[in-house]
Each structure stands twice: as C-alpha cells, then as structure tokens.
Amino acid sequence: MERVVECRDVGRTYDDDAVPVHALRNVDFDLAAGEWVSLAGPSGSGKSTLLHVIGGLDQPTAGSVVVDGVEVTALATAQLSDLRLNKIGFVFQAYNLIPVLSALENVEFILQLQGLDRAERRSRSRDALHSLGLADVEHRRPGEMSGGQQQRVAIARAIVTEPVLLLADEPSANLDTSTTRELLEVLQTLNRERGVTILTATHDPMVMGYTSRQVNLRDGKVVRDDS
C-alpha cells in the first residue's frame, strides 16, 4: 500500500536546558494511505513531538521524514508552510479557530490562502461544514459555538483542502465523553468513507479504540506497533 509517511531513524533532541532532552530516539515509523493510527503513550513519551515533526512544525535533529514523497527535513520555512497548507490538515487540542471569523469563514480561510476563487471556496467550505452537521452554525463565530461544534469546524477546516494526511493532537482533550464520541464518529466516517489518512496523538483510550492501529511510545522510542 502507498506510504503517506516514512520516518527513518528520527531523533529530536532539545538543547535548551543544561541537560539535553531526547524527545525522540531512532524512531522508525510508516503510515500507509487510508490508515488511522494513534500515537499513544504517557506525557513526555514523544508522541506529540513525532506528530509535530511529521507535520513540519518541528525539525528533527536526526533521521529522515518523508511526507507524500517529500523529504520534510530538506524544506525551507516557506516550503514547509506550503507543505502544511496543501498536504496536511491539522486538528489542534484547543480548536484554534480565528475568533473574528465565522465558522464558514474559518473554513474558507485556508482555501483563500491556497488562492481559490470565491465560488469554489464557498461551495467547498459549505460542503465540508454540512458533511459534519454544521449547516446551522456556519455564520456563528467561535465564541458562539460549543466546544464540540468548534472542534468539528476545526476538522472541516482541516479536511476542506483534501489533504493527504490529517494530524490531530489530543483532539478529545477539551471535550466531554459524549462530544468525544461524536467527534470520533466523524473522524471514523472520514477515514472509512473518504479514505482520509489520520494520525492522532492521544492518551485517551476511547480515541485509541476507534483507530485501526496503535503505536506506543515511551521515552522517545517506539515500544509497540501493532501493525
């Protein structure tokens, strides 16, 4: 099966403090198209760091990271921005919507960054929101929506560009059980019906229960991969 992510011997060491901190050590990790994988592990295990390295938000200090055939470690800042804009969708723990824009505008925003024309932007943004059951709130601003609705808008924003990879960092951290379940159902539908490749970093067993594969990290190393 086609590989969307290939990590080889990836290391990430932080030298900020007097003692170097090895967040990732010799990590080998592959992600195939259409998979939904959860990176699990306790706090400080390196799951979020691996997610960020794959997403081009952090640079590894060793090894190679290839996303959709592109060597991420070789890219300049602007090229990384383009990679994130065109190939990767992000869902953050704290939703991170733009507070001065409505739900529709938040979703449309990323298509504006891509330079799409207004008609196509509107159409695709509406489709994304409607597919996530957000037709009624498209003109509401983030402050006027519930946490679950905001997270679904964030998912709509992440998938509207039809990325090759959807990265979700602790997507359920701020949600209650019932909203988390709703969110996971949405992600499952995207994964099964649209074939969206998803990588989540989580320590929530409920999230892990929905994923097709679980990779456990501890002290920056992969300790279990049930592929």
Partner 1 sequence: MPVKLLIQLSWRNIWRHRRRNAILVSAIAVAVTGVMLLNTMMRGMQQDLRNTAIENLTGHVKILEPGYLHDPGIERGFDILEGWQNTLPDHVAGWASRIRVPGVIMSERGTRGIQLVGIDPARESISFLGQAEVAGDRLSGPEDSRILIGGLLAEALDTAAGRRLVLVTQGADGRTREAGFRIAGVYRAEIAGLEKAFVFTGLAALQRLLGTDKITEISIRLDDEDRETSTIAALAETFESRAVASWRQLEPQAAAMVEVSDVTIYILFVIVMGALTFGLVNTLVTAVMERLRELGMLRAIGMRPRAVVAQVVVESTVIMAIGVAAGLILAWCVFSFVADGIDLTAFDDSLASFGMRPTFVPVFDIRDVALIAVLSLALSILASFYPARRAVKIKPLEALRR
Question: Where would I find the H helices in the chain?
Answer: 47-54, 77-87, 103-114, 118-131, 147-159, 177-193, 205-210
Residue 90 binds partner 1 (CB under 8 A): yes
Assess 92 for contact with partner 1 (CB under 8 A).
Answer: yes
Under the criterion CB under 8 A, does residue 43 sit at the interface with partner 1?
Answer: no
Show contacts with partner 1 in window 183-222 (CB under 8 A): none
Choose which of 62, 70, 75, 101 interacts with partner 1 (CB under 8 A): 101
76 binds partner 1 (CB under 8 A): no
The residue among 200 and 210 lying less far from partner 1, judged by its C-beta, is 200
- Asked if residues 71 and 138 have their Cβ atoms less than 8 Å apart, the reply is no
| 90 vs 213: CA distance, rounded Å | 19
CB 147 within 8 A of CB 179: yes
Beta carbon of residue 113, minimum distance to partner 1 (angstroms, whole number): 6
Q: Which residues from 45-64 bind partner 1, rule CB under 8 A?
A: 52, 55, 57-58
If one asks whether residue 77 binds partner 1 (CB under 8 A), the answer comes out as yes
Does residue 173 touch partner 1 according to CB under 8 A?
A: no
Q: Minimal CA–CA distance to 155: which of 195, 185, 122, 186? A: 186
C-alpha distances in angstroms, 118 versus 10, 81, 123, 141?
41, 22, 9, 20
Q: Which is nearer to partner 1, 32 or 80 (CB)?
A: 80
Q: How far apart are CA 95 and CA 153, in angstroms?
A: 8
**Interacting residues with partner 1 (CB under 8 A):** 52, 55, 57-58, 77-78, 81-86, 90, 92, 94, 96, 98-101, 109-110, 112-113, 115, 157
